C-alpha cells in the first residue's frame, strides 16, 4: 500500500472532524473577536514544530484548533479592507473542488468545470448589464488588472514579439496599487502612468484626463489605456464611466474598468454604473462584494481575439487538436494561468443555492449599513465624515481637538485601540492627508446592531485614550 493512501473510512472520519471544526467556527462567529488575541511571537511559537518524518495521523488535526484560534474571523463586525465574508455554501463547494482536483486548463482536462466556469462568466456579465463580455476567473483583482493591461498593451503597442516599449496609461490618483504594479511589471514604465486628479467626490476629472492626453499626443508619445475605477478602494468612488468611455473612443484608447470592489454594486444600483458595459476589459472580485471565499477574481473582456493575442503561446505538448467550439476550448489561450483551480464551483453552487435576488438583497443591506453608519457619524458632535458615501465604504474620524492635539495621531491610536479591543475591526485610509477610520460593508453577516457598535467602540476608545494621555 502506498504510504499516502487514505482509506475511505479514514476519509469519512477525518472529514467529519474537519466539518465539525468548521461548523463550530460558524456557530461561534457571532461572539468571536474581530481580531484574534495573539501576537507574532505566539503564532511563531504555535506553529514552530519541526516537520516530522513519521505521520501524526489523527493527531495532526489537533493543531487545527490553534489555526482557528489565531485566524482573523469573518465575524459580523469585521469591516476592514474590502474583505468579503465567505459564504458557507461556497466554502463547501471549495472543499469538493479540491476533492475533484480538476485542473481547469481546457475542456478536455475538466469538461464539467470548464463548462461551469464559462456559464458563470456569462451569468455575471449578464447580471451586471455587460452581456457579450466574456472572460475567466483568476486569483483576484490584482491578477485581473495585470491581465487586462497585458491585453491593452498587446492591442495598442504589441510587445510579445519584440519587447515592451514605453506606453502611457491614465488612471486617477485614487486608483488601486495593483494598477501601478501592473504598469511596472508589463515594462511600460511607472513614470508613464499619468495620475489624473480627482474632484471633490474622488472621481477622475475628465477635463484633466483630456488635457493630459492632448499633452502626450502633442509630444508624440504612444498611448495605451485609461483605467477607470468603479469603486475606489478608499471611498468607493465611481469614475464617470460613460464620459471616460467616450474619451477612449475619441483617442482610440483601451478602456479598462477596475470594478474589483464596486462592480457587484451594479446588481442593485445599475444607474451609478452606466458605461460599465463599454469597457474593453473589466475586473471584478467575487471574493469581495459577492461574498465568495478567497480566491475568486474575474476578468471580463470584449474581444477574445485580443486575449488570444496576449496569452496564446501554446507549447506543442498542450496544443488543443479539437476544432469543436466547446471541446476545443482552452482557458490557457486566454489567460495568464495554465493550471487553474475549479473556482467556478463555489460561485455556481452558491448562486444556485441562494438565487441572484439574495445576493442583490445582501448588497442592498450593505449599502444600507453604510448609510446607517454615515448617519450615526453625522449625528455625533465628536465624529465627522471625511468622504461622501458612494457605495459601502465609510471614511470618518474623531474630530475633537484639545490643546493642539494631532488628529492623525489620535485617530491612529483610536484604530489601534478598537482593533485591540476586538469587538469590531476597522481599517484605515488617508483622505486629503487626514488619517481616516474606514469601515467597508461587504459582509452578509452584519446586522444593524453591529453597525451601531462601530460608533460606540470608536467613541469609547477615543475617550479612554484622551483620558489616559490627559490631552
Ligand atoms: C479597486 C481594487 N482593485 C484591485 C484590488 C486588488 O484585488 P485583490 O486583492 O483581489 O488582488 C482591490 C483590493 O482591495 C481593490 O479594491
Q: Could you tell me the distance, in angstroms and rounded to a whole number, from the CA of residue 260 to the centre of ligand 1?
A: 5
CA of 229 to the centre of ligand 1 (A): 11
The three cell numbers of residue 436 are: 481616516
**What spacing in Å lies between the alpha carbon of 145 and ligand 1's midpoint?**
9
Q: Which residues pair with 106 in a beta bridge?
A: 330
- Nearest alpha carbon, ligand 1 atom 14: 82
Ligand 1 atom closest to 233 (CA): 16
Task: Specify the pLDDT at position 288.
Answer: 98
**208 lies in a domain?**
yes
Residues 422, 336 share a domain: no
In a domain, 184, yes or no: yes
Tens of pLDDT, residue by residue over 312-342, are 987 666 566 678 889 999 999 999 999 999 9
Cα(148) to centroid(ligand 1), Å: 14
79 within some domain: no
Q: For strand 223-229 and strand 168-172, is the pairing parallel, antiparallel, or unpaired?
A: parallel
Q: For residues 466 and 417, what is the distance between their CA atoms, to the nearest angstrom?
A: 12
Say what the pTM is: 0.97
Q: How far is CA 248 from CA 169, 226, 244, 310, 319, in A?
A: 11, 7, 6, 20, 36
- For residues 325 and 449, membership in a common domain is answered with no
Question: 142 in ligand 1 pocket by Cβ < 6 Å?
Answer: yes
Cβ–ligand 1 distance for 212 under 6 Å, the answer: no
Closest CA to ligand 1's atom 7: 141
Show the domain range for 391: 357-469
Please work out whether the CB of residue 236 comes within 6 Å of at least one atom of ligand 1.
no
Question: Does residue 283 share a domain with residue 192?
Answer: yes
Whether 247 and 207 have beta carbons less than 8 Å apart is answered as no
Which of 325, 354, 383 corresponds to the end of one domain? 354
Cell 511563531 belongs to: 44
Q: Is residue 75 part of a domain?
A: no
pLDDT of residue 41: 97
From the list 370, 292, 418, 395, the residue with the least C-alpha distance to 34 is: 418
Atom of ligand 1 nearest to the CA of 294: 10
Atom of ligand 1 nearest to the CA of 297: 10
176 within ligand 1 shell (Cβ under 6 A): yes
Q: Is 289 in the pocket of ligand 1 (CB under 6 A)?
A: no
In a domain, 24, yes or no: no
179 CA distance to ligand 1 centroid (A)? 9
Looking at the structure, tell me whether residues 214 and 254 fall in a common domain. yes
Which of 140, 148, 175, 260 has the most ligand 1 atoms within 8 A of CB, as the residue to mutate? 260
Ligand 1 centroid to 140 CA: how many Å?
Answer: 7
Radius of gyration in angstroms for the set of CA atoms belonging to the chain, rounded to a whole number: 24
Residue 346 φ then ψ, to 5°: -65, -40
Which CATH number is 97's domain given? 3.40.640.10
Coil, strand, or helix at residue 101?
Answer: coil
Q: What is the C-alpha to C-alpha distance for residues 284 and 76, in angstroms, rounded to an integer? A: 23
84 lines ligand 1 (CB under 6 A): no
Regarding whether 412 and 267 lie in a shared domain, the answer is no
| Residues 365 and 415 grouped into a single domain | yes
Q: Please, are residues 27 and 417 in contact by the beta-carbon 8 Å criterion?
A: no
CA of 178 from ligand 1 middle (Å) equals: 7
Cell 491581465: give the residue.
Answer: 147
Whether 302 is in the pocket of ligand 1, judged by its Cβ within 6 Å, is no
Q: Whose CA is nearest to atom 6 of ligand 1?
A: 141
Record the cell numbers describing residue 249, joined without a space. Answer: 473612443
**Residues 168 and 226 sit within 8 Å (Cβ to Cβ):** no
Quickly tell me which residue has 509630444 as its cell.
219
Residue 266 CA, ligand 1 centroid: distance in Å: 17
Q: What is the pLDDT of residue 320?
A: 67
Cell of 250: 475619441
Which one of 323, 354, 385 terminates a domain? 354
Q: How much of the chain is helix, strand and coil, in % rounded to 5?
A: 50, 15, 40
* CA of 226 relative to ligand 1 center, distance in Å: 17
Query: Ligand 1 pocket check: which of 176, 177, 292, 390 to mutate, most ligand atoms within 8 Å of Cβ?
Result: 176
Beta strand ranges found along 318-465 (DSSP E): 383-385, 393-398, 427-431, 434-440
Q: Which residues of the chain have pLDDT under 50?
A: none
Total structural domains within the chain: 2
User: Which pLDDT score is estimated for 290?
Assistant: 98
- For residue 224, how far is its CA from the centre of ligand 1 (angstroms)? 22
- CA-229 nearest atom, ligand 1: 1
Is the residue at 40 inside a domain?
A: no
Q: Domain end: 354, 375, 407, which one?
A: 354
Residues 439, 393 within the same domain: yes
What's the gap in Å between 176 CA and the centre of ligand 1?
Answer: 7
Residue 171 in grid coordinates: 488612471
Query: How would DSSP label each residue in 298-355?
Result: EEEES-HHHHHHHH----GGG-----STTTT-BGGGTSS-SS---THHHHHHHHHHH-
pLDDT at 429: 98
319 and 379, same domain (yes or no): no
In sequence order, what are the beta bridge partners of 384? 397
Amino acid at each position: 500500500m502506498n504510504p499516502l493512501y487514505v482509506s475511505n473510512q479514514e476519509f469519512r472520519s477525518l472529514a467529519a472532524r474537519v466539518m465539525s471544526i468548521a461548523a463550530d467556527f460558524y456557530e461561534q462567529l457571532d461572539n468571536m473577536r474581530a481580531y484574534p488575541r495573539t501576537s507574532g511571537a505566539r503564532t511563531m511559537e504555535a506553529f514552530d514544530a519541526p516537520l516530522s518524518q513519521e505521520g501524526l495521523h489523527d493527531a495532526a488535526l489537533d493543531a487545527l484548533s490553534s489555526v482557528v484560534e489565531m485566524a482573523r474571523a469573518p465575524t459580523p463586525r469585521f469591516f476592514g479592507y474590502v474583505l468579503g465574508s465567505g459564504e458557507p455554501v461556497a466554502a463547501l463547494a471549495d472543499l469538493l473542488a479540491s476533492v475533484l482536483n480538476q485542473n481547469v486548463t481546457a475542456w478536455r482536462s475538466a469538461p464539467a468545470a470548464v463548462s461551469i466556469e464559462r456559464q458563470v462568466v456569462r451569468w455575471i456579465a449578464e447580471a451586471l448589464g455587460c452581456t457579450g463580455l466574456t472572460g475567466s476567473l483568476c486569483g483576484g483583482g490584482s491578477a485581473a488588472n495585470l491581465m487586462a493591461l497585458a491585453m491593452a498593451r498587446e492591442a495598442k503597442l504589441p510587445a510579445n514579439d519584440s519587447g515592451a516599449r514605453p506606453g502611457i496609461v491614465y488612471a486617477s490618483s485614487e486608483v488601486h496599487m495593483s494598477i501601478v504594479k501592473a504598469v511596472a511589471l508589463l515594462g511600460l514604465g511607472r513614470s508613464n502612468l499619468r495620475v489624473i486628479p480627482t474632484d471633490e467626490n474622488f472621481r477622475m476629472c475628465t477635463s484633466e484626463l483630456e488635457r493630459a492626453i492632448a499633452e502626450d499626443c502633442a509630444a508624440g508619445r504612444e498611448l495605451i489605456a485609461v483605467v477607470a475605477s468603479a469603486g475606489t478602494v478608499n471611498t468607493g468612488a465611481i469614475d464617470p464611466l460613460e464620459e471616460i468611455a467616450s474619451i477612449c473612443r475619441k483617442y482610440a484608447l483601451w478602456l479598462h474598468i477596475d470594478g474589483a470592489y464596486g462592480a457587484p454594486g451594479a446588481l442593485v444600483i445599475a444607474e451609478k454604473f452606466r458605461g460599465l458595459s463599454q469597457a474593453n476589459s473589466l475586473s471584478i472580485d467575487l471574493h469581495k462584494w459577492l461574498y465568495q471565499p478567497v480566491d475568486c477574481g474575474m476578468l471580463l473582456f470584449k474581444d477574445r481575439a485580443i486575449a488570444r493575442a496576449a496569452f496564446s503561446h501554446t507549447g506543442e505538448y498542450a496544443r488543443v487538436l479539437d476544432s469543436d467550439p466547446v471541446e476545443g476550448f482552452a482557458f490557457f489561450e486566454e489567460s495568464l494561468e495554465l493550471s487553474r483551480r475549479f473556482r467556478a464551483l463555489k460561485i455556481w453552487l452558491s448562486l444556485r443555492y441562494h438565487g441572484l435576488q439574495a445576493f442583490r438583497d445582501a448588497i442592498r443591506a450593505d449599502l444600507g449599513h453604510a448609510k446607517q453608519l454615515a448617519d450615526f457619524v453625522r449625528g455625533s458632535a465628536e465624529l465627522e465624515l471625511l468622504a461622501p458615501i458612494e457605495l459601502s465604504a465609510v471614511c470618518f474620524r474623531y474630530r475633537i481637538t484639545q490643546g493642539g492635539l494631532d488628529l492623525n495621531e489620535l485617530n491612529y491610536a483610536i484604530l489601534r485601540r478598537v482593533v485591540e479591543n476586538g469587538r469590531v475591526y476597522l481599517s484605515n485610509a488617508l483622505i486629503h492627508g487626514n488619517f481616516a477610520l474606514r469601515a467597508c460593508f461587504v459582509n452578509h453577516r452584519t446586522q444593524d446592531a453591529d453597525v451601531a457598535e462601530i460608533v460606540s467602540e470608536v467613541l469609547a476608545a477615543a475617550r479612554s485614550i484622551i483620558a489616559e494621555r490627559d490631552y
